[in-house]
Amino acid sequence: MASSRARRSLVAAFAGSLILAAGAAELRAEPGLDPEAEQQATPVVVDGLTLFSVHARISLAGPERARRIAERVAALASDPAFDPRSIQVVEEDAGTGIIAGGQRLILVTQSDSEAEHATRAAIAKLYREAILEAVGRFRADRSRAALQLAAGWTVGIGAALAAVLALILLLGRRVDAVLETRQRSRRAQPQIQSYRILGSEILWGALRGAFNAGRALLAFTACFVAVGFALRLFPWTRETANGLLAHLADPLRALLHGALRALPNLVVLALLFAIVRWVLKAARLFSESVHNGALSIRSFDPSWAAPTYRLVRIVVIAFALIAAYPYIPGSSSEAFKAISIFAGILFSLGSSSVISSIIAGYAMTYRRTFRVGDRVKIGDVLGDVEQIGLMVTRVRTIKNEEAVIPNSTILQGEVLNYSAYARQEGLILHVTVGIGYEVPWRQVEGMLLLAADRTRHLLREPRPFVLQRALADFCVNYELNVYCADAHAMLDLYTELHRSVLDSFNEYGVQIMTPAYQRDPAEPKIVPRDQWYAPPARVDVASPDAGALPPVTAAK
């Protein structure tokens, strides 16, 4: 029975200290209170327990007055010869005094009455009862039975702490074993790319580190709480225990109080987040419908759907941030404002090139400069467009290289798009040759058109045509123009067309004079037909028209 009563007393005392500490924290956190009133109301604490609060006097500060009263009460309680029943309330000229053993413990003045909004007699009576209870508790806590009980409880707290630490250690080992097993099973699985293994190692390492940190924090908290409870059992260390537990409880109460105060703003932020999410989802569905062709808008290219959605998303999020800023917890603090200004300065200084590239990317999209998959030439880069991003465009060159080009550079430079008209009208490929004046131009044009007809995968309509580009010093420059529908095959088609032109001129014994010459050779510079397939030439792949134009003598 005594043990259960002591346990209830301990729990009640600890709960009372937490309530008092919470009340003090609320007073400190309340912004509308007068700081002078907070300094005047000072608690009188004996053995870590608050008896009552006193206010400052004209000639004596509140903390000093409370300290003197606590010392007088402790001195009387520690005197075995003092009888608590001798404490009396006496009316004096200066106020109502509480006298014990011929010594004044406290004088209740008119200022105390006004501060407490009660009569001096009533206040003195409450103070006397609190002092009587404090003296009795002071002596009871230092009795042999109470100290033995406190020692027993201390041993029990130590045993409970040891059990909790052992449990934390055991659970930690179990979780470590599970994590190690999972990690080994991941390692045993076949991995195609090495970065997956590295990513798994980093992930499991971070997870294990976080778990170890949490386990250490839990063990430290258990030790902290156990030491605080053990110190509260003894009157000499009770005040120290209150300070230790306050270090743990005050931050939690502050967080809870801040969360409760910020709850209405958090509700507004949650509603705003839900509305913005719904708007963005609707915009994305609309954009996908336009991009897939399910919904058509006049004079709006379907390829504009994705970048337009990105622009709408940026605008919606920007307006949402502006609307949400006043409701963000801590947004009105000077630190938050300083961080916002600093972030804005950094963004303005380091984002000029980024913003210019983003604007250039959108400008290229809406100007229809090129699309993904088009064969383009940007500066010295010739290749196929792989990706059009907000900041850069990725081009896969004809040598299977990836060229990353800033959009701002593309917007300021020259872009050749070979695929733009190849889909509808065809891309024109051309070959230029220089032929001597002694060769009839009608024969030259006939040989060029024959070479075009022998080249596969060219468009037959529109028909190929020949232009005489210049009457040069030593030759006439002829240009053969042909149409193709696939810009990605232009290099292969150029190769086949060049082969056909060489075969056609060699077949008819006409010498190509390109680029120039100084005098006529003794024999024309042509390849005889019987040498077209000289070793190691292969008959099956030497010419696209090998079937239509069989060689005179095949290579053996």
The domain defined by 356-417 carries CATH number 2.40.50.140? no
**Per-residue pLDDT tens for 390-400?**
778 899 998 89
Higher-pLDDT residue of 378 and 180 is 378
In this structure, what DSSP letter does residue 291 have? H
The gap between the terminal CA atoms of the chain, to the nearest Å, is: 118
Grade residue 132 by pLDDT with cuts at 50, 70 and 90. confident
SS3 readout for 481-528: EEEECCHHHHHHHHHHHHHHHHHHHHHCCCCECCCCCCCCCCCCCCCC
Res 438: pLDDT: 83
**Per-residue pLDDT tens for 325-372?**
888 877 777 777 777 787 777 766 656 666 776 777 777 766 777 888
Give mean pLDDT, residues 270-277.
92
Distance of CA 242 to the CA centre of its chain: 41
Residue 286 burial by CB count (10 A; 0-12/13-18/19+): exposed, middle or buried?
A: middle
Mean of per-residue pLDDT scores for the chain: 77
Grade residue 468 by pLDDT with cuts at 50, 70 and 90. very high
Res 515: pLDDT: 57
| pLDDT > 80? residue 283 | yes
Res 517: pLDDT: 61
Higher-pLDDT residue of 13 and 256 is 256
Q: Where are the domains of the chain?
A: 1-33, 34-142, 145-234, 356-417, 427-531
Res 245: pLDDT: 66
- In this predicted structure, which of 40-49, 196-205, 291-300, 369-378 has the lowest mean pLDDT? 196-205
Residue range 427-531, CATH number: 3.30.70.100
Higher-pLDDT residue of 475 and 333 is 475
